[in-house]
Amino acid sequence: MLPPHLKSLIEKLSSLPDTGPRAATRTALFLLSKPEQELRELAGLISGLKTNIKTCPDCFNLSDGNSCAICRDSRRDKSVICVIENILNLIPLEKTGRYNGLYHVLGGLISPMDKISPENIRIEELVRRVKKSAGETREVILALNPTVEGDTTALYIERELSPFKIKITRLARGLSTGNSLEYADEITLSNALTGRK
Amino acid sequence: MLPPHLKSLIEKLSSLPDTGPRAATRTALFLLSKPEQELRELAGLISGLKTNIKTCPDCFNLSDGNSCAICRDSRRDKSVICVIENILNLIPLEKTGRYNGLYHVLGGLISPMDKISPENIRIEELVRRVKKSAGETREVILALNPTVEGDTTALYIERELSPFKIKITRLARGLSTGNSLEYADEITLSNALTGRK
Predicted confidence pLDDT, tens digits, chain A (197 residues): 788 999 999 999 999 988 999 899 999 999 998 999 999 999 999 999 999 999 999 999 999 878 999 999 999 999 999 999 998 888 888 888 889 999 999 999 999 999 999 999 999 999 999 999 878 999 999 999 888 999 999 999 999 999 998 999 988 878 777 777 777 777 877 777 777 76
Residues B75, B161, single domain; the answer is yes
Task: Tell me the nearest-neighbour CA distance from B72 into chain A, angstroms.
Answer: 11
Q: Residue A110: inside a domain, yes or no? A: yes
Q: Residue A100: inside a domain, yes or no? A: yes
| A43:B43 CB<8 A | yes
Cβ-nearest to A26 among B17, B23, B43: B17
Share of chain A above pLDDT 70, in %: 99
Residues B107, B151, single domain; the answer is yes
Answer whether B152's CB lies under 8 Å from B110's CB. Answer: yes
- Express each pLDDT in B142-151 by its tens digit: 999 888 999 9
> For residue B168, what are the CA distances in angstroms to B83, B156, B165, B191?
10, 12, 9, 19
Q: Residue A146: inside a domain, yes or no? A: yes
Residues B151, B132, single domain; the answer is yes
For position B104, which CATH number holds? 3.40.1360.10
Task: Tell me the nearest-neighbour CA distance from A74 into chain B, angstroms.
Answer: 14
Whether pTM > 0.80 for this model: the answer is no
Share of chain A above pLDDT 90, in %: 68
Q: Residue A53: inside a domain, yes or no? A: no
Residues B66, B136, single domain; the answer is yes
Residues B97, B40, single domain; the answer is no
Alpha helices in chain B (DSSP H): 4-14, 21-32, 36-47, 49-52, 69-72, 87-96, 123-132, 148-161, 186-194
The answer to whether B36 contacts chain A (CB < 8 Å) is yes
Q: Residue B80: inside a domain, yes or no? A: yes
For chains A and B, count residue pairs whose Cβ atoms are closer than 8 Å.
Answer: 142
Q: Pick the residue from chain A with its C-alpha nearest to B90.
A: A1
Q: Residue B161: inside a domain, yes or no? A: yes
Interface probe for B, chosen from A46, A90, A96 (most Cβ of B below 10 Å), is A46
The crossing angle, in degrees rounded to 10, of helices A36-47 and B4-14 is 140
Residues B86, B142, single domain; the answer is yes
3-class DSSP state of B170 = strand
Residues B92, B46, single domain; the answer is no
Residues B21, B102, single domain; the answer is no
| B39:A17 CB<8 A | no
Residues B82, B128, single domain; the answer is yes
Q: Residue A59: inside a domain, yes or no? A: no
Q: Which residues contact A145 (CB under 8 A, 6 or more apart)?
A: A85, A109
Answer whether B10's CB lies under 8 Å from B24's CB. Answer: yes
Domain that holds residue B64: 54-170
Residues of A in contact with B70 (CB under 8 A): 1
> Structurally, how many domains does chain A consist of?
1
Q: Residue B143: inside a domain, yes or no? A: yes
| A39:B49 CB<8 A | yes
Quote the mean pLDDT of chain B: 90
Report how far residue B134's alpha carbon sits from residue B180's, in angstroms, rounded to the nearest whole number: 45
